[in-house]
Structure 1
């Protein structure tokens, strides 16, 4: 029998590298980078409602299951479903005692758990199902719970749980769960809606006092040409005004980008080897990633060579004025943002009587021109390139005391598009606004009218075809352009990305 993998258990906080509150993007990135520890990764989500139902990451070779809420995509529940596949250490001692001559395939007995966790309040008993002889007793402590099978014929609510679980009527635990909260009966009602305590990033969790940029909790678009980034803790709101906010402001508030990429129009023909996608809602994911210096297999939909970066372009002899005038995307994968920076644009010609944008100033500095907010929708072509950043919009014609906000969880066709069409009813372009341009991301190409930038487009997961040969999980997307806003919408109505321009 292979040696079990090792993980330390911290009730209410973490198991091994997985911390409660972590983002789906970070967790999947972690497991993909450690192929030896996590050879198989299965992702489960709802095709119809990927943003309102839980997203589940299963690690069958490790006996683990991780559950994330749909709207914010943060880790809410860590489950151990097979104690034989991961050696768990709790309070500096093995949770399950394994003998060299006879490795245990079962979970910890009640007495073993009791010796490490101490006294507990009574739990909950569920009668057996499907003619099983055993019911299930769920017993919890602060931040952790165990499922113990109990012979139904021996069950009696007149006996205390310590007596029953310590008797011959009970079997070792079959599973364990970690969560944020005092006990399982209290937590399960608010598991996916209560605000997590832990941060999205393990870097912030392990180095909270290093002066790292605060997490962005939410993006609000109050008016055309501006974005308010609401941040965690005392950092407050960082307001981006397009064509005015400088890159110096950006670095001060959000730190340097994770990567930068040129934005250039090219006539290159994309490679014909498009990536395969499966329509299955339960899919294995490969851990392999190509060498970062490899050539891209296709260009992004913006016509951008996704691998010519500041870090490896090797163009130090380039004319300084040309270099300064080039537009670049600054990619903040952990914030869920891509930001186009470049010289200030002359917006005077674009200003209309309805616009709130200011004309071109005289600043010689590069400024922020577009902000792309990523939805990280499971099943989308751009899934797991960025973490999910939630957003809200104040419709321009809603001046009521209690305005209705459009949010990143709203269905575009049913909720968002009707409101925006109403808000722009007098613009003269209502018919064009309601029509979406169809985009097939897997073909790459020169769809230069798109605002959306997909860095590392060739670093796709090698997906085993589980139920057909459809190129994309949820089909092609459509681009809907309104004044100052462009939406990329999946076939199920979920917004994959929003550009403020």
Structure 2
């Protein structure tokens, strides 16, 4: 039997550790760390538009449902669907604790639904728990009456014939009426919050007092990464106007740690899956390939090095290639920033890819303040931005990192009053068309361009374990209908296609959305 989930209600901000504005990755990681309290997690998402439509996380054993927006994957709505499976209380300042539903037992174990009150009564909510409020809103199609407070709302069933706009809330609802659900949201009322729920800029989690009591100080999260080309990335902080530049081939590990904090993990790079291509390149040239050549051939598969097992299975007789490979990976490692949504490869310097044709000589792109000439120093040479797309194989290894390619802008309407920039929410075919147009001048012919830019299929399911243990339900039917064959351990999409352009590698899912993009 699972232990009862007990949480303090913070109207408009949180229910226990479930804070509005928290990322899907953070919430899932916390829930999965306590399987006794949260034994079952159901993730419902749109298979065709997983980064645009809301993502729903159900906790059936706890009577809770969490709703996240698709683009940012931030917690927007907390719903209580079964009051017998949790213990919710309010702790007003200078007052004693108030229970929403008084537990029938003081034991830590959850009581059986038959032994617990089915939910709070209207009288308890209105008289003691939260106090009086304005008249609510009647929804005739659903035959429900919504009693709204700032940041909290209760939904009561009410037949059409029982509702009258001339009656006040006390006259409409029986004192013993029990709500079917409760919602925690950001806003003064439920009617007002519905309009901006999925797009509102929520306050920083660091401003939430219960979380701000800790002594640890963390930098603000990275909300957007702008890819400027030529190995230059601009990282924007959430809730501030500050930004930080990563310049591939120049930015040092010390600068990364100073701006981003220490990495969550460090992965020592030792991936031999492209060994056959390196061997062929070495035999064709009758000489050892340079470290840069080997690195460039690796770029198509280095789209996720956060948890790949190292492999050393290769022919020991091929000493020339082996020695060159070992020399190349010596000292190389990935700085894994799981809670920021990206990885950074730290290695000896390599020359970044050329700037896009449209950006040559652009004065708005800064140059490094100084350049070091030490060939053995370690610098950032590659950045992998993760999409955390629901249904993808590496789901929930990283939080979602939003990005945009600043030099790929097109008019968004015929009048050209506004422009749209290629970004992490755009289907890859649209991004691909813009990239082909941007880079067409560097290829002798369109046929050669398409030959260089053709896709390479990758199956992440061979040898790795999936990053998520939650049950992926896939469709939008919350009544229990699921996609055939989709269930625990089988819902992840492990086959992806890699597409390479100068300085960029995209890992694309079958639904056309980008799972990860590598900048080099």
TM-score tier (shorter)? 0.7 to 0.9
How many residues matched? 439
Specify every segment of 5 or more residues in structure 1 that has no aligned partner in the other structure, as ranges: 130-134, 270-298, 309-320, 445-455
Q: Aligned-pair distance for 1:222?
A: 2.0
In the alignment, what sits opposite 1:56?
A: 56
> Counterparts of 1:207 and 1:307 in 2: how far apart (Å)?
38
In the alignment, what sits opposite 1:312?
A: none
Using the TM superposition, name which of 205-214 and 87-96 deviates more. 205-214
Given candidates 144, 159, 171, the residue that maps to 2:167 is: 159
Q: 1:108 to 1:460 in 2, by over 3 A?
A: closer
What whole-Å deviation, never above 9, does each CA across 1:354-410 have from its counterpart, x for those lacking one? 596999840453110001111000010110000001111123697999654111000
1:99-138 to 2 correspondences below 5 Å: 99=104, 103-114=115-126, 115-127=128-140, 135-138=143-146
> Counterparts of 1:210 and 1:88 in 2: how far apart (Å)?
28
Q: Aligned-pair distance for 1:120?
A: 1.1
- TM norm structure 2: 0.76
- TM norm structure 1: 0.78
Using the TM superposition, name which of 180-189 and 260-269 deviates more. 260-269
Given candidates 373, 384, 388, the residue that maps to 1:362 is: 373
In the alignment, what sits opposite 2:67?
A: 67
Given candidates 405, 408, 412, the residue that maps to 2:421 is: 405
3-state DSSP of counterpart to 1:261: strand
Given candidates 187, 192, 196, the residue that maps to 1:186 is: 192
CA contact (8 A) 2:397 2:468 kept: no
> Counterparts of 2:509 and 2:26 in 1: how far apart (Å)?
23
1:225-304 to 2 correspondences below 5 Å: 225-234=231-240, 236-266=242-272
Given candidates 493, 506, 510, the residue that maps to 1:491 is: 510
> Counterparts of 2:240 and 2:133 in 1: how far apart (Å)?
37
In the alignment, what sits opposite 1:7?
A: 7
Q: Aligned-pair distance for 1:166?
A: 4.1
Specify every segment of 5 or more residues in structure 2 that has no aligned partner in the other structure, as ranges: 92-96, 106-110, 276-300, 311-325, 361-366, 474-481
> Counterparts of 1:162 and 1:258 in 2: how far apart (Å)?
53
1:9-24 to 2 correspondences below 5 Å: 9-24=9-24
Query: Does residue 95 of structure 2 align to residue 89 of structure 1?
Result: no
Given candidates 144, 149, 152, the residue that maps to 1:144 is: 152
3-state DSSP of counterpart to 2:186: coil
What whole-Å deviation, never above 9, does each CA across 1:189-211 have from its counterpart, x for those lacking one? 21111112243999994357743
> Counterparts of 1:123 and 1:80 in 2: how far apart (Å)?
19
CA contact (8 A) 2:8 2:88 kept: yes
1:419-438 to 2 correspondences below 5 Å: 419-428=434-443, 429-438=448-457
What whole-Å deviation, never above 9, does each CA across 1:237-287 have from its counterpart, x for those lacking one? 001111011111101000110001111233799xxxxxxxxxxxxxxxxxx
Structure ranking higher on relative contact order (CA contacts 8 Å, 6+ apart): 1
Q: Aligned-pair distance for 1:127?
A: 3.0
Q: 1:422 to 1:374 in 2, by over 3 A?
A: same
Q: 1:464 to 1:419 in 2, by over 3 A?
A: closer
> Counterparts of 2:55 and 2:181 in 1: how far apart (Å)?
20
Q: CA RMSD in A?
A: 3.5
> Counterparts of 1:173 and 1:408 in 2: how far apart (Å)?
40
3-state DSSP of counterpart to 1:40: coil
In the alignment, what sits opposite 2:432?
A: 417
Q: 1:330 to 1:200 in 2, by over 3 A?
A: farther
1:414-493 to 2 correspondences below 5 Å: 415-428=430-443, 429-444=448-463, 457=465, 460-461=468-469, 467-468=484-485, 473-474=492-493, 476-493=495-512
> Counterparts of 2:246 and 2:199 in 1: how far apart (Å)?
29
> Counterparts of 1:237 and 1:329 in 2: how far apart (Å)?
22
In the alignment, what sits opposite 1:453?
A: none
> Counterparts of 2:140 and 2:503 in 1: how far apart (Å)?
57
